């Protein structure tokens, strides 16, 4: 084993001579000396040896200096901390890998990724080059430090030279603690009695700091209390007393050591206070406000501030307000300052208003100052006009604890002057429906004269539920009477028995011819129940089986003119047998009650138990407050009455489809699309008991080629639509112009609200298309006219119309041609082709060719096909070859003579041999769906294409000779072979040998197994034979159900696929081949792999991060309208985020992946430049239009990510 030579080659030299003498075994003799001399005279040879280094030694890794980092910080890992060595490998080739990551941080490499300029700071890595260690690009980031205080960390790693690895080495990290944690500070509010103090201990000031070692926590009084102070108490050892001193700062350690910090109230009458404390740990500052609630102490006596007395006229009523009577207490609210009545007035009464009534106060009654402030206390003078001129009442003040001495409130009564009217009224009581006579004891007016007949009352506001009448004329309401009528007991008030209010009043004016005075008379109505309630409705209910129905007033009603609905009670005697009677969801049992108000409020329901019963009932009695029964058909009823409930069996029949006709009429939708409207004229369902909006058409199979859309909302119809929508013609089948189909269908079932679902039905769509038969027409001027054939395909059973429009190119209307005045062409039922002529004007001038175009527009009842435009070239006389003009109506005008050769026919002139590309053993491949089913063996993907033409040339025959595959092609053209088995097939060629066969003879080919059959080019008809043979070998016609299936035609060795309409030659497209390379769950389109995330609704920023980190892709970009249409269908026609943004605020929209912005689809115009932080990201909204939204706070939506298909190397 040789020694290690290092990294560079080493050189050595071997010097030798060549001699044929034999070495002797004896000592030194003369002969030996002679041989030595002879040897020295021989030539000497040098052999140079170069020893090249071989990587045979493993690298070594050792930890160096102690590595330390501050808590929450970043420190570089240098070569002094981590030493790697390898005697036979350069240090910059060594790679360091982690086997056990750090627990409280991560390793990062700040160098940008290859091809990028942005640093990778903040991205955790698991391996790095030792060269980055030497250059100082690798850091340890101490990331986990919030709410934890790590002091050390470690990770394990090893170094590799690509072939060998070192032993696993632990790397230890010392974490230096820092003041990084924000203290937690909770300050509770306090309650203190007036003039007292409250200790601020650790139960009120709760502090916690997670930093290790602990920091010094200091409190500062940032805002002092207004009605108190913060002080510290300390003991005086000599006087054994506690002294207090204001304090502005103290520490948590002081509180823990026993310092008493107190809040002291200043004994004022302020019941609220606050102060702000600030806590700091030397770096962070936290402010907390402490609210102080002061509990008042009743230590102040109530004081009478104002006692001005009152002056009233005889018979007058005056309010006693705070203007004349006011008491205050410094520590008591006005509601608690009480006037205790010790003596009442002699010539009148004191009254306090309670709710709507004035209640007379007696000795021992009381009234609060708040009642006086709210004008709830009044004095009513009731004495005669000859009484004393002074009245008073005695009271004392009381605040619940303190009482004042007795106080007098004086009331001066003015003397009654003649001519001045005084009114004396007292409330009267009357039973409901009764009459009360108004006497002078309750209604008296005087003016100091003895002429009561001159005092006239005029009723200005009559009573609401009664009237004033003369007792001699009952029932006749009056509005005027005199004081003499009152004195004679001729005036009465009669209640009408309809009112429910316990109080009545009327207002009046009294006049003596010189003066007048207003007054009000109050009447208290005793609510006596005189009339029995009547059962006005007992009609029963009709309830569907197993449902709940409201018991309304139209089914059960009780009425009583003198009882409100809440007092009309139903008593349940016998509950229903097959269901439950519910009051606000609670079941009623025997003996339970409910009211007429409950019925009017729709609170009573009947719930059937779902059984087979057909009739149910419940028994009840009814009464008012008198509990004497109720009237039924005018008779008193005290026994129970039954309420009948009819149970309707559930309708188990499914809705019937009464009209189902094929839909054919294609109509323009206004945006370039065409569709067929679904209406009730062609599709209609019926169900007894179900409305149109309740009949739902559930789609069990979507259309094959188009889709359904709600024309009013623009939304895709994924599952169901209603009969009401059909009646309004809001559902349309949108025709897909990219498909070749002229028919489609969907399957549906009809259901009602009870879940009854009918059988599956097939709704068919069959429409027609109209197009020109040719794209190019050549016409000679001397022909005089040219006829264009317009072909209708598809459904020919209905009439349709198309408009022909002529546009000038180089030809001029009126000078070179005359358009047909009839531009509207009608296709009658059964007609598939119409001709349309244009007159050609012959001017006998030698001119260049003139061109005009014929377009098909404005289809009615049909759609325009793929060939909607034809170009007509007018050739002048003598413009053709040989001096003549030859018209041609085909696609191309032949340049050479002879028969026209179809584009898909290739003469037989040679064969192409593909070597060492064996096919699989299976010859027939069936596939269905979006991917290709591969056979067990490798299938060659080689295709031969004409150079400069994308058309794939199918071989006329394929021959297997055991090792090679021979494809036979016919024609004279330049070919190249392309490998379609990978998405990167461009530029990849297969080795081919072209074998010349000379000129083919028409004689039959020799019979040999190794010879291929030849095709004779017998004109146009002969080219049809392979297609005819292919059609004969197809086992089934191509239908939408077989869409996507592949079939190998055994007679022509041609692979066909079904597109839902017809069998077409199949070639593996980029999409088919590359779709196999997309990851599972991704969809291929346009050279990219896409994935839709619809269930996770996130903001744009979250969608961008999720695409990058979770799906390793990029938020989708849109390169063209084709891409946009595909993405809109791919998203299910639901809004989704795309990668367009202007997050930098530079007023320039750009894609996340850096692609050029070549296509936009804004809803209106590109958004204006907005302020920072506003709408900077793009959402695809309704009808695939773009809108700008906020990147971080907009409503969550789905999103689409894309990535490039992995290459074959990546897949390996």
Asked if the peptide bond before residue 213 counts as cis, ω within 30 degrees of 0, the response is: yes
Give yes or no for residue 651 having a pLDDT over 80.
Answer: no
Give yes or no for residue 415 having a pLDDT over 90.
Answer: no
Sign, CA torsion 1059/1063/1067/1068: positive
**Could you give the strand order of the β-sheet that contains 348-354, starting from the edge strand earlier in sequence?**
317-319, 377-381, 348-354, 357-360
Distance between CA atoms of residues 565 and 107, nearest Å: 80
Q: Of residues 541 and 418, which shows the higher confidence score?
A: 541
Q: What is the pTM of this model?
A: 0.38
Q: Of residues 1188 and 10, which shows the higher confidence score?
A: 1188
Same domain, 1124 and 1171: yes
In the block, tokens 């820092």 appear at 178
Q: What is the pLDDT of residue 188?
A: 94
pLDDT category, 877, cuts 50, 70, 90?
low
Distance between CA atoms of residues 1170 and 1164, nearest Å: 16
Nearest Cα to Cα of residue 421 among 518, 520, 521: 518
Distance between CA atoms of residues 1048 and 1063, nearest Å: 11
Q: Reduced to 3 states, what is the DSSP secondary structure of residue 276?
A: strand
Q: Identify whether 891 is part of a domain.
A: no
pLDDT > 70: percent of the chain: 82
Q: Reduced to 3 states, what is the DSSP secondary structure of residue 931?
A: coil
* Domain stop point among 176, 192, 209: 176
Q: Identify whether 234 is part of a domain.
A: yes
Q: Identify whether 1198 is part of a domain.
A: yes
Same domain, 744 and 825: no
Give the burial class of 643: count Cβ atoms within 10 A of its Cβ; 0-12 exposed, 13-18 middle, 19 or more buried. buried
Give the lowest-confidence range in 111-125, 391-405, 497-511, 1081-1095: 497-511
The token pair that represents 25 in the structure block: 């075994």
The token pair that represents 47 in the structure block: 């052999």
pLDDT in tens, 243-293: 678 899 999 888 888 889 999 998 888 889 999 999 998 889 999 999 999
pLDDT category, 459, cuts 50, 70, 90?
very high
pLDDT in tens, 1109-1121: 888 899 999 988 8
Give the lowest-confidence range in 511-515, 642-646, 967-971: 967-971
Nearest Cα to Cα of residue 644 among 536, 542, 544, 572: 542
Distance between CA atoms of residues 608 and 616, nearest Å: 9
Give yes or no for residue 634 having a pLDDT over 70.
Answer: yes
Length of the chain equals: 1212
Non-local (6+) Cβ contacts of 381 within 8 A are 312, 313, 314, 315, 316, 317, 347, 348, 391, 411, 413, 424
Q: What is the pLDDT of residue 909?
A: 42
Q: What is the pLDDT of residue 957?
A: 57
Nearest Cα to Cα of residue 888 among 871, 913, 905, 867: 871
Calculate mean pLDDT across residues 1086-1094: 90
Non-local (6+) Cβ contacts of 424 within 8 A are 314, 315, 381, 382, 443, 444, 445, 446
Query: Domain of 635: which CATH number?
Result: 2.60.40.10
Give the lowest-confidence range in 698-712, 866-880, 950-964: 950-964
What is the rounded average pLDDT for all residues in the chain? 82
Q: What is the pLDDT of residue 995?
A: 42
Q: Identify whether 78 is part of a domain.
A: yes
Q: Identify whether 1028 is part of a domain.
A: no
pLDDT in tens, 878-926: 554 444 566 554 444 443 334 444 444 444 444 444 433 333 333 333 3
Distance between CA atoms of residues 497 and 529, nearest Å: 9
The token pair that represents 719 in the structure block: 């599952």
Same domain, 256 and 307: no
CA diameter of the chain: 196
Non-local (6+) Cβ contacts of 939 within 8 A are 919, 920, 925, 981
Please state the domain count of the chain. Answer: 10
Same domain, 1067 and 1093: no
The token pair that represents 1203 in the structure block: 């990535």
Give yes or no for residue 497 having a pLDDT over 70.
Answer: yes
CB atoms within 10 A of CB 1149: 18
Same domain, 945 and 1053: yes
Q: What is the pLDDT of residue 997?
A: 38
Q: What is the pLDDT of residue 1023?
A: 39
Same domain, 688 and 715: yes
Q: Reduced to 3 states, what is the DSSP secondary structure of residue 960?
A: strand
CA distance to 1028, 1056, 1199, per residue, from 1022 (Å): 10, 20, 54
Distance between CA atoms of residues 818 and 825, nearest Å: 17
* Domain stop point among 356, 389, 413: 413
Domain that holds residue 21: 10-46
Same domain, 914 and 1051: yes
* Domain stop point among 502, 526, 550: 526
pLDDT > 90: percent of the chain: 48
Q: Identify whether 371 is part of a domain.
A: yes
- What secondary structure does DSSP assign to 538-568, as a single string? E--EEEETT-EEE--TTTEEEE-TTS-GGG-
Beta bridge partners of 580: 607
Enter the DSSP assignment of 1030: H
Q: Identify whether 53 is part of a domain.
A: no
Query: Domain of 700: which CATH number?
Result: 2.60.40
The enclosing H or E element of 15 equals: strand 10-17
pLDDT category, 296, cuts 50, 70, 90?
confident
Same domain, 803 and 853: yes
Calculate mean pLDDT across residues 840-845: 82
The enclosing H or E element of 469 equals: strand 466-470
349 near 360, Cβ under 8 Å?
yes
Q: Reduced to 3 states, what is the DSSP secondary structure of residue 894?
A: coil
Same domain, 501 and 361: no
In the block, tokens 């009809």 appear at 750
pLDDT in tens, 803-835: 999 999 988 888 889 888 888 999 999 999 999
Same domain, 236 and 333: no
Q: What is the pLDDT of residue 1147?
A: 77
604 near 580, Cβ under 8 Å?
no
Calculate mean pLDDT across residues 331-349: 91
User: Kind of pairing, strands 674-678 and 466-470?
Assistant: unpaired
Same domain, 227 and 321: no
Q: Of residues 997 and 375, which shows the higher confidence score?
A: 375
Q: Which of 143-152, 559-568, 769-778 has the highest mean pLDDT?
A: 769-778
Same domain, 289 and 313: no
pLDDT in tens, 188-201: 999 998 888 999 99
Give the lowest-confidence range in 152-156, 594-598, 837-841, 846-850: 846-850
Nearest Cα to Cα of residue 426 among 315, 517, 344, 503: 315
Query: Domain of 797: which CATH number?
Result: 2.60.40.2030
Q: Identify whether 1016 is part of a domain.
A: no
Q: Reduced to 3 states, what is the DSSP secondary structure of residue 32?
A: helix
Beta bridge partners of 187: 205
Give yes or no for residue 1054 having a pLDDT over 50.
Answer: yes
Q: What is the pLDDT of residue 976?
A: 46
The token pair that represents 818 in the structure block: 């005359």
pLDDT in tens, 21-44: 665 555 667 777 777 777 777 888
């Amino acid at each position: 084993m040789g020694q290690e030579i290092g990294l560079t080659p080493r050189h050595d030299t071997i010097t030798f001579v060549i001699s044929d003498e034999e070495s002797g075994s004896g000592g030194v003799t003369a002969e030996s000396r002679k041989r030595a001399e002879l040897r020295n005279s021989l030539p000497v040879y040098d052999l140079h040896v170069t020893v090249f280094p071989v990587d045979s030694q493993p690298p070594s890794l050792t930890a160096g200096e102690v590595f330390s980092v501050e808590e929450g910080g970043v420190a570089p890992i240098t070569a002094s901390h981590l030493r790697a060595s390898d005697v036979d490998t350069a240090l910059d080739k060594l790679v360091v890998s982690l086997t056990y990551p750090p627990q409280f941080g991560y390793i990062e490499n700040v160098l940008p990724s290859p091809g990028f300029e942005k640093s990778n700071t903040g991205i955790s890595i698991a391996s790095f080059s030792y060269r980055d260690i030497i250059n100082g690009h690798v850091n340890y980031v101490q990331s986990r430090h919030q709410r934890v205080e790590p002091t050390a960390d470690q990770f394990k790693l090893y170094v590799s030279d690509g072939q060998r690895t070192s032993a696993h080495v632990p790397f230890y990290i010392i974490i230096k603690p820092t003041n990084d944690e924000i203290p937690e500070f909770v300050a509770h509010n306090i309650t203190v009695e007036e003039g007292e103090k409250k200790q601020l201990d650790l139960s009120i000031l709760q502090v916690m700091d997670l930093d290790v070692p602990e920091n010094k926590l200091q409190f500062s009084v940032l805002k002092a209390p207004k009605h108190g102070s913060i002080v510290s108490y300390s003991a005086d050892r000599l006087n054994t007393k506690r002294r207090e001193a204001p304090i502005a700062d103290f520490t948590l350690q002081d509180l823990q050591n026993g310092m008493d910090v107190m809040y002291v109230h200043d004994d004022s009458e302020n019941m609220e206070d606050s102060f702000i404390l600030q806590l700091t740990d030397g770096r962070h500052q936290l402010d907390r406000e402490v609210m102080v609630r002061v509990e008042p102490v009743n230590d102040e006596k109530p004081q009478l501030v104002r006692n001005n007395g009152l002056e009233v006229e005889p018979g007058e009523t005056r309010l006693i307000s705070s203007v004349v009577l006011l008491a205050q207490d410094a520590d008591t609210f006005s509601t608690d300052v009480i006037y205790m009545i010790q003596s009442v007035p002699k010539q009148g009464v004191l009254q306090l208003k309670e709710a709507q009534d004035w209640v007379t106060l007696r000795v021992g009654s009381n009234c609060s100052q708040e009642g006086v402030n709210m004008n709830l206390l009044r004095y009513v003078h009731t004495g005669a006009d000859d009484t004393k001129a002074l009245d008073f009442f005695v009271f004392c003040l009381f605040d619940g604890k303190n009482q004042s001495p007795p106080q007098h409130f004086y009331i001066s009564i003015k003397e009654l002057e003649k001519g001045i009217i005084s009114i004396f009224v007292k409330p009267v009581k009357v039973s409901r429906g009764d009459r009360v006579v108004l006497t002078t004891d309750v209604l008296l007016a005087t003016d100091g004269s003895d002429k009561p007949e001159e005092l006239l009352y005029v009723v200005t506001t009559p009573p609401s539920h009664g009237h004033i009448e003369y007792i001699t004329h009952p029932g006749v309401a009056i509005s005027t009477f005199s004081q003499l009528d009152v004195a004679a007991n001729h005036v009465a008030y009669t209640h009408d028995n309809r009112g429910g209010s316990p109080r009545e009043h009327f207002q009046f004016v009294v006049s003596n011819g010189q003066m007048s005075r207003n007054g009000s008379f109050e009447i208290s109505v005793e609510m006596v129940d005189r009339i029995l309630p009547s059962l006005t409705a007992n009609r029963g209910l009709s309830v569907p089986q197993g449902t709940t129905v409201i018991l309304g007033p139209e089914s059960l009603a009780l009425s009583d003119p003198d009882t409100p609905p809440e007092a009309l009670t139903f008593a349940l005697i016998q509950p229903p047998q097959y269901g439950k009677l519910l009051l606000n969801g609670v079941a009623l049992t025997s003996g339970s009650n409910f009211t007429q108000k409950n019925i009017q409020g729709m609170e009573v329901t009947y719930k059937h138990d779902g059984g087979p019963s057909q009739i149910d009932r419940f028994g009840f009695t009814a009464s008012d407050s008198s509990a004497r029964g109720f009237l039924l058909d005018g008779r008193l009823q005290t026994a129970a009455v039954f309420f009948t409930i009819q149970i309707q069996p559930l309708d188990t029949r499914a809705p019937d489809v009464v009209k189902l006709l094929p839909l054919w009429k294609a109509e323009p939708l206004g945006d370039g699309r065409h569709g067929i409207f679904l209406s009730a004229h062609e599709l209609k369902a019926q169900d007894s008991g179900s409305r149109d909006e309740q009949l739902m058409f559930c789609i069990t199979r979507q259309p094959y080629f188009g889709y359904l859309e709600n024309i009013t909302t623009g939304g895709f119809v994924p599952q169901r639509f209603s009969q009401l929508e059909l009646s309004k013609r809001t559902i349309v089948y949108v025709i897909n112009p990219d498909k070749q189909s002229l028919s489609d269908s969907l399957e549906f079932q009809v259901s009602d609200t009870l879940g009854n679902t009918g059988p599956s039905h097939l709704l068919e769509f069959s429409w027609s298309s109209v197009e020109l038969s040719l794209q190019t027409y050549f016409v000679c001027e001397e022909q005089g006219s040219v006829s264009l054939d317009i072909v209708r395909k598809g459904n020919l059973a209905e009439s349709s119309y198309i408009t022909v429009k002529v546009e000038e190119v180089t030809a001029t209307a009126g000078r070179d041609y005359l358009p047909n005045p009839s531009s509207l062409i009608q296709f009658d039922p059964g007609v598939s082709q119409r001709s349309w002529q244009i007159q050609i004007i012959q001017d006998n001038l030698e001119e260049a060719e003139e061109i005009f175009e014929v377009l098909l527009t404005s289809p009615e009842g049909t759609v325009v096909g793929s060939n909607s435009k034809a170009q007509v070239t007018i050739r002048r006389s003598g413009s053709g070859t040989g001096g003549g003009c030859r018209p041609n109506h085909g696609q191309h005008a032949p340049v050479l003579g002879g028969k026209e050769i179809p584009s898909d026919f290739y003469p037989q002139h040679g064969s192409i041999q593909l070597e060492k590309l064996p096919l699989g053993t299976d010859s027939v491949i069936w596939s269905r769906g979006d991917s290709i089913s591969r056979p067990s063996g490798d299938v060659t993907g080689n295709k031969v294409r004409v150079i400069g033409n994308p058309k794939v040339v199918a071989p006329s025959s394929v021959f297997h000779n055991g090792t090679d595959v021979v494809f036979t092609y016919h024609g004279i053209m330049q070919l190249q072979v392309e490998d379609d088995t990978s998405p990167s097939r461009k530029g990849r060629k297969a080795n081919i040998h072209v074998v010349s066969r000379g000129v083919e003879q028409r004689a039959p080919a020799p019979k040999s197994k190794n010879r291929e059959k030849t095709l004779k080019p017998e004109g146009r008809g002969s080219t049809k034979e392979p297609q005819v043979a292919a059609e004969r070998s197809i086992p089934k016609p191509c239908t939408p159900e077989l869409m996507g299936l592949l079939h190998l035609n055994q007679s022509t060795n041609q692979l066909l696929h079904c597109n839902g309409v017809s069998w077409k030659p199949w070639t593996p497209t980029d999409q088919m081949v590359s779709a196999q390379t997309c990851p599972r769950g991704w969809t291929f389109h346009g050279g990219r792999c896409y994935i839709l995330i619809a269930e996770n609704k996130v903001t744009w920023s979250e969608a961008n991060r999720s695409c990058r980190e979770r799906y390793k892709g990029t938020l989708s970009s849109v390169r063209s309208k084709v891409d946009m249409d595909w993405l809109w269908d791919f998203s299910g026609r639901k809004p989704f985020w795309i990668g367009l943004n202007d997050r930098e605020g530079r007023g320039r929209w750009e894609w996340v992946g850096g692609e050029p912005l070549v296509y936009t689809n804004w809803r209106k115009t590109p958004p204006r430049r907005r302020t920072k932080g506003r709408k900077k990201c793009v959402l695809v909204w309704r009808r695939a239009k773009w809108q700008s939204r906020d990147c971080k706070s907009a409503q969550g939506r789905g999103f689409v990510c894309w990535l490039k298909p992995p290459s074959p190397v990546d897949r390996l």
